[in-house]
Structure 1
Amino acid sequence: MKHSLLSVLLALPLSACAAGASGDAPSLAKRPVEGRFDVAPPPVAVPPPGPLPADLAGRLARWKADAAAGERAFAAEHSAAATRVAAAAGAPVASERWIVAQQAISRLVAARAPVSAALADIDRLYVERSVAEAVDGLPAIHALRERLAGLVSAQDAAIAALAAELPGA
């Protein structure tokens, strides 16, 4: 009894599908009215960004100068830090040579502060101008931002490389 009831229940959905396959079902072919809106949208004219506004030119110049000064300070500290890290090679953790090398790396991190600060400032400016849809000067802002980001990335890699040479770092 259970078997026959189960087979009847399973056959009901199949009979509904067979009934839908009759010849009086609507066609799924595309109707003429459906193609009326297949047209390309009109082109939107977007004016190119203009020059950097005068009030921002001074800020960008200051950030460039800060980054250059930070780059010079980093280079000077990097050679000193590399010398101290090389001297600490093989020294036990927390020995005097190891501590001197760690301090040199800390000074190296501090020397890159002007570049990091300039990058943070220009990131903030870029986001503010993008949100406000003020596109004038964005190419110049973006170019300086990319340059500063590259400097910070290179400095991060240099610091990481020196830190990796110290035991326990």
Structure 2
Amino acid sequence: MTSNLRLPALAAAALLAGCATPGDYPSLAQRPAERVQGAFTPDDADPQPLVPVLPSADLVARLTQLEREARTAHGEFVEATPAARQRAERAGPVASDSWAAAQVALADLDSIRSRVAIALAELDSLWVDATLEAGPRDAIGAVRRTVEALVAQEDAVLAQLRGRV
């Protein structure tokens, strides 16, 4: 078995010895072609002003529909919040009936919130597409910010109620 180990050890030693042989190797110093020469100057041309892209009628209709859906769902969320708040305040120990009722009320609010979040996700997708294709980002962004604010309000309410349960 020792003779089997000698051969790989001798081969490795021979390979390593080849790396240490003296010779005439090229310098690793920076070559003249690698040095930066000249100066970078900005282009003299005046930048073209960005022309705002107007949204198509289909896009305006879709944005209106998404905002309407989000506002409708948010209205339902606001209506359901007082009952959920009462159940959260009355929640007893974990696994009690009052605790379970509070959990169901929070799940109902989460379900309503998800409808608003779906509208936001679609607006995000439209906004990304408009960004990549130089489309009407401003029109999409305005509706997106509105729906994003609705989701943030709902998240704050849910966080507060979850803290009570």
Give the TM-score normalised by the residue count of structure 2.
0.72
The gaps in structure 2 that reach 5 residues or longer are: 1-36
* CA distance, structure 2, for counterparts of residue 72 and residue 95 of structure 1: 30
Per-residue deviation, 1:46: 2.9
Q: Deviations over 1:20-45 (max 9, x none)?
A: xxxxxxxxxxxxx956x646642210
Please give the alpha-carbon distance, in whole angstroms, between the structure 2 residues aligned to 1:124 and 1:84.
36
Q: Is the 1:77–1:111 Cα contact (8 Å) retained in structure 2?
A: no
SS where residue 102 of structure 2 aligns?
helix
What percentage of residue pairs aligned between the two structures are identical? 31
Q: CA deviation at 1:131?
A: 1.2
Query: Counterpart of 2:72 in structure 1: which amino acid?
Result: A
Q: Which residue of 2 aligns with 1:113?
A: 114
Displacement of 1:112 in angstroms is 1.6
- Cα distance change, pair 50–160 in 1 and its aligned pair in 2 (3 A): same
Tell me which residue corresponds to 2:139. Answer: 140
User: Which residues of structure 1 form unaligned runs of 5+?
Assistant: 1-32
Matched residue count: 129
Counterpart in the other structure of 2:56: 53
Q: 1:122 to 1:39 in 2, by over 3 A?
A: closer
Cα distance in 2 for partners of 1:93, 1:59 equals 44
Where do 4+ consecutive residues of structure 1 move more than 6 Å?
A: none
SS in 2 for 1:112: helix
Which residue of structure 1 aligns with residue 132 of structure 2? 131
> Could you tell me which amino acid in structure 2 is paired with residue 130 of structure 1?
T
What is the RMSD computed on CA atoms of the aligned residues? 1.7
Is 1:87 equivalent to 2:86 in the alignment? no
Give distance in 1, aligned partners of 2:38 and 2:104: 73
Letter in 2 for 1:81: A
